[in-house]
Every structure is written in structure tokens, then in C-alpha cells.
Amino acid sequence: MKRLLGTIAVAFAGGMLALGAHSLLTRANQSNDNTGYQLPVRMASYGEGQGAINGPDLTVAAEMTVHAVVHIKTAYERKPNYYDYFFDLRDFFSGRSQQEDLPIQGAGSGVIVAEDGYIITNNHVVENASSITVTLNNKRTYTAKVIGTDPGTDLALIKIDEKKLPFVPFGNSDKVRIGEWVLAVGNPFNLTSTVTAGIVSAKARNINIISGADGSSIESFIQTDAAVNRGNSGGALVNPNGELIGINAAIASANGYYTGYSFAIPVNLVKKVYQDLRDHGEVHRAYMGVSLSEITGEFAEKNGLKDTKGVYVDEVVENGPAQKSGIKKGDIILAVDDVTVNGTSELQEVIATKNTGEKVKIYLIRDNKPFELSVVLKEKSEQTEIAHKNSSEIFNQLGATLQQVPNDLKNKLSLKYGLQVTSLKDGILNSSGIKKGFIILKVDNKSVRSVDELGNILKAKEGGILIEGIYPNGMRAYYGFGL
């Protein structure tokens, strides 16, 4: 029996030695095999000094901003349509009146930027609203009034009657870098202030979603991957220091919900619009007077350019600031003051942050040689007057003085654009039956947003023309005449 147990023990020991040797050989072979796949394994929890990869601490930035971002609730008067005037038996039997169906509600976010109650939001959040209610993060509610709007940048300034409010300080969007961490703070889905984090994915994005009252728009969005959903519009995009670097405005989505990218209006543009709206109630837009083209690889090859840097000047507006400064067609603009520009969106953004009458330095290339010029920027409306004069023959035939529709009248009539007839003399419009106050909305089914657009439409027309519009009392009218 002892001999049997001894034999078993020896056999077991030999087996263990063999297994150990095989294991050592296997490990050696694996360590020398560069094609083998090693699954990286890390502890689920870690302590200090373990080298874990982690993002920046964003808690301070969140605490600084969450109480300065508000929820905005808007109400709109539903305009009765033709069928609303007919008796509806369903309303009779349900006991529901038409008046109960009239109000329409909307929602968005806003950012307090001054302790005395000034709040920046998107124009599309408050546009044409009959009432605006602001709810702070502490659940206190206020009635807000509109100070001014700027459809060309999709920004609006509203105000509540309160003091010593928390506010978000302005940062500098020119210093924002791709890859930088950011926080999006807003009120998605009518929730209280919500914070999401991401990075800056791109800058100077133009996604063609804004249309200004005069037919112009400025799009140079900061693109991020911070989650933004319905209700976030008008909310804050902040850096890790808690500084405002953008106003969230849009998402790239086919279904209206966040699918990966969001877009914010850069704060340097926001600051300019805010100051103008606060001081004047409207924006004084700086204007250089050039038409521009992006320089792609194909464009550079076709036009014999050495590289794709800068922005190509396609046309120079007659008597505009650029022409008076010496800028010519074919010039390549590389920078404005100390800001490098490599796309039309970037150039438009830089000019839009300037004040009218301000002198800026333009660095450009002409015939492969560097140039430096100074341009004194004019207000956009001044150039509109010039364009009006350049189309003087046509406008003399019309016999009318035209202006942009005042904001209060636009709100009353739920209009987004149009030109109002402010005076009439002998001419086509007068003889066609058009009266003073008439608002031109469309010519031959083309929307009219500015004097420039009207002039361009009429210059290209011969024969019969149909004008569609509305009077201040809400009566729509159509007029036809020949040129």
C-alpha cells in the first residue's frame, strides 16, 4: 500500500512539473510572437498614481453657469385661417371653443449676460411671440420683454426686471481651439438646466440655416459633439473656465433629435450683437463690399494659385469700402487685423464683429506679392442706399420710397421680411393702385427681403410683373403691371 501511494505521489509530481514546463514554454512563445493579440486589462477602479486617462474637471464650470442659464417659454397667437370661420360640429358637441385652440406654445433656453436681467437667446426662440416667460434655475418666473432681434445672426436680446442675477462672463471665441473641452448648458425637453460635455469638432461652419431680414446671413458656427436637443436653442456653450464662448443654435439631425453634432454662434459675434441691441435696439452691421469665393484645390489649380490659403475676391462693389481702399478683383485676402481667414465664413464673422466706421487692416496677396491695405467699414444700410441709386432708373419708374418693415409691424403681421412703401409719386406703383403703407412680399413669386433683391429682380424682368403683398391692417393684395 505504501509502495502504491509513493508511486502515485511521484507520478503526480512529474505531471505538475511537465505542466509547469509547458506553461513556461507557451508564455515564452507568446512573448516572442509579435503577431499575437494581447487584450489590455485595467482595474475597474483606480487610485492616485495609477495613470488612468481622464478628462478635465468641468464641475466648476458647470456650477458657474447652470444658474445663469434660463428656460424660456413663449406663446403665439394662432392666426385663424379660411376654414376657421365655418361652424364645426365637433367643437359644438365637445364643448370646445375655437378660442381654446388659438395659443401656440414654444420653448427654448437663454443665457443671462448681465446681473440686471439682460438675456441672450436665439431669434427663432422668441420671434413673433406674443408673450415670453423666463424661468430661472431656482424656479422663479418672470415676464420678459424683447429689447431687439437680429435675424441675420439668429440672435435676440430680452430682459427681465431683476437685479443681482448670476451671469456668464464673455470669453473669446477666436482663442477656441479644435479639440478643446466644452460644456453645453440648456433646458432640453422642458427640463431644468442640463449640462452635457464634448469637444470642439470644427470652427467657422456654414450650414445654410439662417436667413436675415435683408436677405443676408452670417454663419460661422462652432461645431461640437456636446449633446444638444430640442429646447437647448439659445443656451450656453462654455469653456472649462466657465466663460461663454458660444450660443447654441442648431443640431445636424434628420429627425430633430441629437445625432452627433451641434452648432453654436461664436461669442465674439454675440458680443457685438448684444452691445448694439442693448445700446440701439438694432444691429449696425459693418460692411466691406466684396463678393468672395472659397479657394479649393480645384479652384487654385484652375486660377494658377500656389496654395489654398485665404479667400478669393470675386467682385468688388462699386463705391464700396473695399473699392475705395484699393482692393481689386482677384486679390486673395489672408487676414483681417490679426485674425487669419481661410474661408468666407471666417471673413464674414471677423467683419461682423467690427463697428461701422472702424478702420481695419487687410493683408492680401496680389500677383503673388503681399499687400497691406486699410479699409474703413461702412454700415450695410449705407451700401443699400448706393445700390438703390445704382438702380435709380427702375425705381424712378416705380415712383416709390421703400424701407424695411419695422419690427413691431412685422411682429403684428407675423412677417419675416418685406419692403414697405413709405411714399408715392407719379409712377408704376401709384398707377397700379398700390397705396402708401403697402408691404411688398413677393415679385413673380420671388421673396423680396431687401432693396437690392427687388432691384435685381426688376432689372432682369421684361413684360408683365405680379406683386404680392399685405397692408398694415392685414389685408392681402395682388397687383400686376408691365415694365
Give tens-digit pLDDT for 286-311: 889 888 888 988 888 888 888 899 99
The percentage of residues in the chain with a pLDDT greater than 90, rounded to a whole number, is 42
Q: Which three cell numbers stand for residue 188?
A: 432640453
Q: Which three cell numbers stand for residue 158?
A: 430680452
Specify the pLDDT at position 460. Answer: 64
Residue type, 366: R
In the predicted model, is pLDDT for residue 2 greater than 50? no
End-to-end CA distance of the chain: 126
In sequence order, the 6+-apart residues with CB closer than 8 A to the CB of 50 are: 43
Specify the pLDDT at position 398. Answer: 79
CATH classification number, 391-482, choose in 2.30.42.10, 3.40.50.2000, 3.40.190.10, 3.30.70.380: 2.30.42.10
Mean pLDDT (whole number) for 110-119: 97
Classify residue 289 as left (phi > 0), alpha (psi -120 to 50) or beta: left
352, 351, 333: which is closest to 343 by C-alpha? 333
Specify the pLDDT at position 427. Answer: 80
Taking each helix axis from N to C terminus, what angle separates 380-390 and 451-459, rounded to the nearest 10 degrees? Answer: 20
Q: How far apart are CA 443 and CA 96, in angstroms?
A: 41
- Binned at pLDDT 50, 70 and 90, residue 154 comes out as very high
In the predicted model, is pLDDT for residue 50 greater than 50? no
**Counting beta carbons within 10 angstroms of the beta carbon of residue 356, is it exposed (0 to 12), middle (13 to 18) or buried (19 or more)?**
middle
In the predicted model, is pLDDT for residue 438 greater than 90? yes
Q: How far apart are CA 59 and CA 36, in angstroms?
A: 42
Catalytic residue chosen out of the listed positions 154, 214, 276, 452? 154
Q: Which three cell numbers stand for residue 185?
A: 448648458
Mean pLDDT (whole number) for 176-202: 90
Lowest mean pLDDT among 112-126, 232-246, 396-410, 413-427: 396-410
pTM: 0.66
Q: How far apart are CA 315 and CA 313, in angstroms?
A: 6
- Could you say which DSSP state residue 261 is in? -
Gyration radius of the chain over CA positions: 32
- The answer to whether 228 and 167 have CB atoms below 8 angstroms apart is no
Q: Which three cell numbers stand for residue 178?
A: 479644435
Q: How far apart are CA 217 and CA 286, in angstroms?
A: 13
Specify the pLDDT at position 122. Answer: 95
Q: How far apart are CA 233 and CA 149, in angstroms?
A: 15
H or E element in which residue 269 lies: helix 267-280
- Binned at pLDDT 50, 70 and 90, residue 462 comes out as low
- The answer to whether 141 and 135 have CB atoms below 8 angstroms apart is yes
Specify the pLDDT at position 133. Answer: 95
C-beta atoms surrounding 379 within 10 Å: 16
In the predicted model, is pLDDT for residue 77 greater than 60? yes
Catalytic residue chosen out of the listed positions 71, 124, 214, 331? 124
Specify the pLDDT at position 48. Answer: 42
Q: Per-domain residue ranges for the chain?
A: 56-283, 286-380, 391-482
Lowest mean pLDDT among 191-195, 364-368, 465-469: 191-195
- Binned at pLDDT 50, 70 and 90, residue 6 comes out as low
Specify the pLDDT at position 54. Answer: 61
**124 is an active site residue:** yes
Burial 51-87 (b: 16+ CB within 10 A, else e): eeeeeeebeebbebbbbbbbbbbbebeeeeeeeeeee
**233 is an active site residue:** yes
Lowest mean pLDDT among 67-71, 92-96, 394-398: 92-96
- Mean pLDDT (the chain) is 80
Three-state secondary-structure class, residue 300: helix
For the stretch 329-388, pLDDT in tens is 999 999 999 899 998 889 989 999 999 899 999 999 998 899 999 999 988 655 444 444
Q: Which three cell numbers stand for residue 469?
A: 403683398
In the predicted model, is pLDDT for residue 8 greater than 80? no
246, 337, 329: which is closest to 289 by C-alpha? 329
- Binned at pLDDT 50, 70 and 90, residue 389 comes out as very low
Top-ranked range on mean pLDDT: pick from 191-195, 396-400, 437-441, 450-454: 437-441
- Binned at pLDDT 50, 70 and 90, residue 132 comes out as very high
Q: Give the C-alpha distances (Å, rounded to integers) separating 388 from 336, 350, 361, 402, 452.
A: 29, 26, 28, 10, 7
Query: Does this chain's domain 56-283 share its CATH topology with 391-482?
Result: no
- Could you say which DSSP state residue 152 is in? T
Residue type, 223: Q
Question: Domain 56-283 - what CATH class?
Answer: mainly beta
Catalytic residue chosen out of the listed positions 109, 173, 216, 233? 233
Q: Which three cell numbers stand for residue 84?
A: 376657421
Q: How far apart are CA 344 and CA 293, in angstroms?
A: 7
Q: Which three cell numbers stand for residue 404?
A: 424695411
H or E element in which residue 221 lies: strand 221-224
Specify the pLDDT at position 251. Answer: 82
- Could you say which DSSP state residue 60 is in? H
Specify the pLDDT at position 403. Answer: 82
| Strand-strand pairing, 446-447 and 464-470 | unpaired
**Counting beta carbons within 10 angstroms of the beta carbon of residue 121, is it exposed (0 to 12), middle (13 to 18) or buried (19 or more)?**
buried
Q: In the CATH scheme, what is the code of domain 286-380?
A: 2.30.42.10
In the predicted model, is pLDDT for residue 80 greater than 70? no
Q: How far apart are CA 327 and CA 334, in angstroms?
A: 13
Q: What is the DSSP string of 406-469?
A: PHHHHHHHT-S--EEEEEE-SSHHHHTT--TT-EEEEETTEE--SHHHHHHHHHT--SEEEEEE
312, 239, 298, 208: which is closest to 62 by C-alpha? 239
